[in-house]
């Protein structure tokens, strides 16, 4: 994987995988990336994980799309036609022909059935400029807001709770602030695998004496560094968190002065918590009451505490309630807006923060500005030169696919997302994709979703394009093109511009810096951040208070961006998971990522080193469960839920409790989402990926 002296060019960019946003130096020889080193970015200070260091050669993989493709007439829409030759249902086309087919297909549906008959899935893997252009295309070109992306599947519930109670969907403090904390809770997250460089800061914090409290139904590698490992029963987060807060109230450990100055609705919260005594909740949560009391005291009595959470919190039908509890816990202990304190949902994709900020969501325009507000829409109409577009909130990811089944959505433009692998109950999603009258997919590989496309547009990989991305810390960073896209592949922004022009829009952008300049007109969060500044400094955290300010690591010290300037307590009740285990499906299935693979595997399974380490679909079971099933490590097992079944290798893992199975979702040959439950959280509309009733059997 590269000789460290043998390169003829070097380009600085940002890792394309997780939301940590590590800055990298790409070493190239003859136009190809030979190896990658970490550089001194604000989030990584030279560090990289195995994905950042070794997961780069997918960009040179022979499966890369190099020419536009058009589906052959009468070719059936189905998955993995012939894995050895996935192109059998397509023919190569010129760009002119493919763009005409895409524009005629989608534009024709708009003209026949109205704009809302076409929907768009943008990508958290693309740049801020590309996300912005994508949502603008749907809003300006089709006149409505049916545009969403994978934030719906990861932290939509966290954002809903943060918007409601804090007034902003982003983190209140960078994860690096943990160096100033005395105590930190990490709940529903597995940073050693999913945010590995952030995890190094957490471990350093524990090493210097900080109290690390890990809460998760699954044991994690971080537990070795923890003061407390609270392994609670899946789906009982609200009971546990309310019990912790109940102790804080009972023992008078809350910060009355902070509550009086900065919050509202405290009395309602306080009264509500009285019903959650640890002695009552302990059995529900599967842990002892004393542990709840100790954790409550340790967190509330510290000078400064941070709370980090991941998708173990958000991917439930009560995901918004889970986040409401975490927000309340931080507020009642005065742990927002000061050094070493804050709320930090660890964002998943490299640019899910930026794509959300850029308005790639159906209810908000850029900077989370309400799409139903006439004045706000008026401002964007002025910037965009549009008369107006719909004042109705659009449909979310899963609602859009339901809309296809209902015959309301007839066409889709999918940029860099893979719903044929990533959506819950993926058979339903695949059937929806097959039903579309026109599906345009823009990607770097012929993904599972592209198998269903009518037109496939070949795009540049992240290391082949210029543009900004925003990480979990609110750091806007400059990504730079190091390599040339293969064949005729083009940068995503350029493809979206060409398609917009074919659809009759008067778009004249010739460089992403022009898009960034336009974004600034509608996004106050980008004040004092310019393209040139990012070229020079590589990263600026928003908000930045002056052209010299590197940005604010901690926000909301004085007031919150809500009417009246106060944050709010929203009490949460215990809601059981949607699908309880029963005699037919007696175990609990939870899904997630593993260290070496990224999401649906399209990039990492084509990265030589990563694929060599983790080549096969697997699931993790407790040793006692393996014994009970009569299964050896490495044997195949069958997993069945009410939605379908898959077979995959069994792995032994003591971190998983005996009634659970953990399944990574990167493997198409045993796609975890064939099994997952599509039930939604009512606020964030996020599916319950973290809990499904399952039957596990030996083959």
* Contacts with ligand SF4, residue ranges (CB under 6 A): 15, 17-18, 20-22, 44, 48-49, 51-52, 195-197
44 vs 525, which CB is nearer to ligand SF4? 44
Helix (H, G, I), strand (E, B) or coil at 506: coil
Q: Which residue do the tokens 């860099």 mark?
A: 416
180 vs 477, which CB is nearer to ligand SF4? 477
Q: CB of 696 within 8 A of CB of 587?
A: yes
Q: Which two tokens stand for residue 35?
A: 């190896």
52 vs 115, which CB is nearer to ligand SF4? 52
Q: CB of 458 within 8 A of CB of 444?
A: yes
Q: CB of 228 within 8 A of CB of 295?
A: yes
Residue nearest to ligand SF4 (CB): 52
220 vs 451, which CB is nearer to ligand SF4? 220
140 vs 174, which CB is nearer to ligand SF4? 174
| Angle of the 128-136 helix axis to the 512-522 helix axis, nearest 10 | 70
How many angstroms separate the CA atoms of 477 and 42, rounded?
Answer: 10
Tell the burial category of 262 from Cβ atoms under 10 Å away from its Cβ (0-12, 13-18, 19+).
buried
15 vs 483, which CB is nearer to ligand SF4? 15
Q: CB of 409 within 8 A of CB of 146?
A: yes
Shortest gap between Cβ of 319 and ligand SF4 (angstroms)?
A: 23
Shortest gap between Cβ of 150 and ligand SF4 (angstroms)?
A: 16
Other Cβ atoms less than 10 A from the Cβ of 207: the count is 10
How many angstroms separate the CA atoms of 64 and 443, rounded?
Answer: 9
Shortest gap between Cβ of 49 and ligand SF4 (angstroms)?
A: 3
| Angle of the 156-165 helix axis to the 319-332 helix axis, nearest 10 | 40
Shortest gap between Cβ of 697 and ligand SF4 (angstroms)?
A: 35
Shortest gap between Cβ of 386 and ligand SF4 (angstroms)?
A: 36
- Return the closest-CA partner of residue 537 out of 120, 184, 174, 42: 42
| Angle of the 278-285 helix axis to the 289-300 helix axis, nearest 10 | 110
Shortest gap between Cβ of 52 and ligand SF4 (angstroms)?
A: 2
Shortest gap between Cβ of 176 and ligand SF4 (angstroms)?
A: 13
574 vs 613, which CB is nearer to ligand SF4? 613
Q: What is the 3-state secondary structure (H, E, C) of 510-528?
A: CCHHHHHHHHHHHCHHHCC
463 vs 691, which CB is nearer to ligand SF4? 463
52 vs 167, which CB is nearer to ligand SF4? 52
Helix (H, G, I), strand (E, B) or coil at 364: strand
Shortest gap between Cβ of 45 and ligand SF4 (angstroms)?
A: 11
Shortest gap between Cβ of 665 and ligand SF4 (angstroms)?
A: 17
Q: CB of 203 within 8 A of CB of 222?
A: yes
């Amino acid at each position: 994987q590269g000789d460290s002296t043998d390169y003829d060019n070097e380009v600085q960019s940002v890792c394309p995988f997780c939301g940590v946003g590590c800055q990298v130096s790409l070493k190239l020889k003859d136009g190809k990336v030979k190896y990658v080193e970490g550089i001194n970015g604000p989030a990584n200070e030279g560090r990289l994980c195995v994905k950042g260091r070794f997961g780069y050669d997918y960009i040179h993989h022979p499966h890369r799309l190099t020419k536009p493709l058009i589906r052959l007439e009468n070719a059936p829409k189905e998955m993995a036609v012939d894995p050895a030759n996935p192109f059998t249902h397509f023919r190569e086309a010129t760009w002119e022909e493919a763009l005409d087919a895409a524009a005629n297909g989608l534009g024709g549906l708009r003209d026949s059935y109205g704009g809302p008959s076409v929907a768009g899935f943008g990508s958290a893997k693309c740049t801020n400029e590309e996300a912005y252009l994508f949502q603008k295309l749907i809003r300006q070109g089709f006149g409505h807001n049916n545009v969403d992306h994978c934030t719906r599947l990861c932290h939509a519930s966290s954002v809903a709770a943060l918007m409601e109670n804090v007034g902003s969907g982003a983190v209140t403090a960078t994860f690096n602030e943990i160096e100033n904390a005395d105590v930190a809770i990490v709940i529903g997250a597995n940073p050693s695998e999913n945010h590995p460089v952030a995890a190094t800061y957490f471990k350093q914090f524990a090493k210097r004496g900080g109290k690390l409290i890990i809460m998760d139904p699954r044991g994690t590698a971080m537990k070795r560094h923890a003061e407390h490992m609270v392994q609670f029963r899946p789906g009982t987060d609200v009971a546990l968190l309310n019990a912790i807060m109940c102790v804080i109230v009972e023992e008078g450990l809350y910060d009355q002065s902070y509550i009086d100055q900065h919050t509202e609705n405290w009395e309602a919260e306080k009264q509500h918590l009285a019903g959650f005594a640890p002695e009552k909740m302990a059995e529900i949560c599967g842990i002892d009451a004393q542990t709840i009391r100790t954790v409550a005291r340790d967190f509330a009595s510290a000078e400064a505490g941070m709370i980090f959470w991941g998708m173990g919190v958000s991917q439930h039908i009560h995901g918004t309630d889970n986040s409401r509890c975490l927000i309340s816990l931080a507020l009642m202990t005065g742990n927002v807006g000061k050094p070493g304190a804050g709320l930090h949902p660890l964002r998943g994709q490299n640019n899910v923060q930026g794509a959300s900020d850029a308005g790639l969501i159906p209810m908000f325009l850029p900077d989370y500005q309400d799409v139903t507000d006439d004045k706000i829409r008026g401002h964007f109409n002025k910037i965009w030169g549009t008369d107006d577009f719909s004042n109705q909130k659009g449909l979310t990811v899963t609602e859009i696919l339901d809309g296809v089944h209902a015959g309301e959505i007839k066409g889709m433009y999918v940029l860099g997302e893979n719903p044929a692998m990533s959506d819950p109950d993926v058979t339903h999603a695949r059937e929806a994709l097959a039903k579309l009258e026109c599906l345009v997919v823009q990607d770097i590989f012929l993904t599972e979703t592209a198998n269903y496309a009518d037109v496939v547009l070949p795009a540049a990989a992240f290391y082949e394009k210029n543009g900004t991305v925003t990480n979990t810390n609110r750091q806007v960073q400059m990504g730079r093109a190091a390599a040339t896209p293969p064949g005729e592949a083009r940068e995503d922004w350029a493809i979206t511009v060409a398609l917009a022009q074919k659809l009759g829009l008067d778009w004249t952008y010739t460089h992403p810096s022009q898009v960034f300049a336009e974004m600034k007109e509608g996004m106050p969060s980008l004040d004092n951040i310019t393209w040139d500044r990012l070229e020079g400094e590589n990263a600026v955290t928003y908000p930045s208070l002056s052209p010299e300010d590197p940005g604010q690591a901690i926000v909301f010290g004085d007031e919150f961006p809500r009417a009246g300037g106060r944050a709010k307590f929203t009490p949460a009740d215990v809601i059981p998971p949607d699908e309880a285990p029963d005699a037919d499906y007696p175990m609990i299935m939870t899904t997630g990522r593993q260290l070496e693979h990224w999401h649906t595997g399209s990039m990492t399974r084509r990265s030589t080193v990563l694929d060599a380490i983790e080549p096969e679909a697997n699931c993790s079971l407790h040793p006692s469960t393996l014994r009970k099933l009569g299964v050896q490590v490495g044997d195949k097992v069958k997993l069945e839920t009410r939605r379908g079944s898959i077979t995959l290798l069994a792995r032994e893992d003591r971190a998983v409790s005996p009634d659970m199975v953990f399944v990574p979702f990167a493997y198409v040959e045993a796609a975890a989402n064939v099994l997952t439950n599509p039930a939604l959280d009512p606020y964030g509309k996020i599916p319950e990926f973290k809990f499904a009733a399952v039957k596990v059997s030996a083959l």
